[in-house]
Structure 1
């Protein structure tokens, strides 16, 4: 599966920072204006970037609408949905109740589409059919991306790692087939347990996966260890989208990317940029490799 070599991450736009709460608050304040998000996306695109990862955070629809207002961007920008945004379901259920949550979530769907999704989900609940419920969740999460250039759909690491801990081979097989058959794009997985995931895929006989996982010189979020992740990266047939490459800002770009591109099977990297200067530095260093 060929994906964009540099993919714009979205954490800075939604106020997520794994190292500094102060920095997270600053990002939240700065990017409360959607135009500022769009400006960063344009900078990324002007420098040659054509891929963006986006979860179904409440800001996602606004960001999608802003991108849609730019004809060239909406035509040429490839999107990589990260689903589901579990925290959002919990928050909306607490604020508006389950009915309000469902109504908000299905807001962008046509009446017939809403009926189909609700019927399938209801049947799944009555039968206690988890895979039916999972397919409904996927369909709901993919609604904002129905008119977009989607290249791959990443299952969030929370669900990936939960299924992995349960050794639920059937869930992985179902997800792979459902994304391929219903959306015609590559199924992919986020994980905080790269080594265990690729070993399990090999044991189950599943074909070469596309995995988003942390790779950085500091070993940040590389479980069970940097050494074990590096070993599996070299031994198994896998395509990797590297995240947390700067270890949440602990590493400088030059040392981070020198390490990253010394590794095999790294096909792409997620970058979090917030200024033109940062973007130009990041693109310049990556292109050297």
Structure 2
């Protein structure tokens, strides 16, 4: 499940990526965010261990939120011969800085952060997508609101300016902009996402840890619009269990 790579232009992107939200102690993890702050953000050596373990399990791509400890650990991994394919997330307010950083890191792709996409400032988005394209790197967008933003993108002037689209996808509809997530909503969502005609990357598939990996992966089998998946990992043990299970599906 999600084996191999997808070729886009001159880039080949692995279909399974190591996510980095736990590494930055993202607020979505609730009380665990404090633990991730202490164990990971404040100790990039532990991030490095997870990158190495994931690579050894066959996960050769990483979706990078470019906070200093994450970048530091990634550079250490590269120097140690762990040649991770980098998909970079470009942060709001740091667009030019992050594009330069990811270009230096030889990223295969860059996506504008959801807080940029979800503002729907199409002129600004077009400008930043063009900066990414100027680096000869595959470009994309991320959203926190897949229902609302996908509908807006279909009518927007930037629809033909990007190749990758990262959206939250999980069985519960958690951290997605919907009140319910029954059969009708799922069908409408699937049809809408397919109509955007992009390479779709699923994030938040574990619903910030609410879902067990097996349950999350079984649901993904029904989401036939997903091309690539990114999974945040918080320990070497978690990497072993999660990626071994994914490979068996």
Asked if Structure 1 and Structure 2 have the same fold, meaning a TM-score greater than 0.5 normalized by the shorter chain, the answer is: yes
2: distance between equivalents of 1:53 and 1:17?
18
Q: Does the aligned pair in 1 maintain the 2:48–2:74 contact within 8 Å?
A: no
> Is residue 195 of structure 1 aligned with residue 147 of structure 2?
yes
Tell me the secondary structure at the aligned position of residue 50 of structure 2.
helix
Q: Compared with structure 1, are the counterparts of its residues 284 and 56 closer, same or farther at alpha carbon in structure 2 (3 Å cutoff)?
A: closer
- Give the match for residue 281 of structure 1: 241
- Give the match for residue 97 of structure 1: none
Number of matched pairs: 230
Tell me the secondary structure at the aligned position of residue 99 of structure 2.
helix
- Give the match for residue 4 of structure 1: 14
Q: Does the aligned pair in 2 maintain the 1:34–1:66 contact within 8 Å?
A: no
Unpaired stretches in structure 2, ≥5 consecutive residues = 1-7
Tell me the secondary structure at the aligned position of residue 210 of structure 2.
coil
- Give the match for residue 33 of structure 1: 43
Larger RCO of the pair (alpha carbons < 8 Å, separation 6+): 2
- Give the match for residue 169 of structure 1: 122
1: distance between equivalents of 2:71 and 2:206?
28
1: distance between equivalents of 2:155 and 2:66?
32
- Give the match for residue 147 of structure 1: 104
Q: CA deviation at 1:30?
A: 1.3
Q: CA deviation at 1:77?
A: 0.9
Q: Compared with structure 1, are the counterparts of its residues 214 and 59 closer, same or farther at alpha carbon in structure 2 (3 Å cutoff)?
A: same
1: distance between equivalents of 2:244 and 2:78?
28
Unpaired stretches in structure 1, ≥5 consecutive residues = 87-136
Higher helix share: 1
Q: Give matches, 1:1-289, under 5 Å.
A: 1=8, 2-21=12-31, 23-31=32-40, 32-70=42-80, 72-73=81-82, 76-84=83-91, 86=93, 137-162=94-119, 164=120, 168-181=121-134, 183-204=135-156, 206-207=159-160, 209-224=163-178, 226=181, 227=185, 228-289=188-249
Q: CA deviation at 1:264?
A: 2.0
Tell me the secondary structure at the aligned position of residue 166 of structure 2.
strand
Tell me the secondary structure at the aligned position of residue 187 of structure 1.
strand
Tell me the secondary structure at the aligned position of residue 82 of structure 1.
strand
Q: Normalising by the residue count of structure 2, what TM-score does the alignment of the two structures yield?
A: 0.83
Q: Normalising by the residue count of structure 1, what TM-score does the alignment of the two structures yield?
A: 0.72
Which structure would you say has the larger Rg? 1
Q: CA deviation at 1:17?
A: 4.4
Tell me the secondary structure at the aligned position of residue 155 of structure 2.
helix
2: distance between equivalents of 1:234 and 1:211?
11
Q: Does the aligned pair in 2 maintain the 1:55–1:85 contact within 8 Å?
A: no
Q: CA deviation at 1:63?
A: 2.2
2: distance between equivalents of 1:61 and 1:249?
24
1: distance between equivalents of 2:198 and 2:221?
15
Q: CA deviation at 1:12?
A: 1.4
Q: Does the aligned pair in 1 maintain the 2:114–2:143 contact within 8 Å?
A: yes
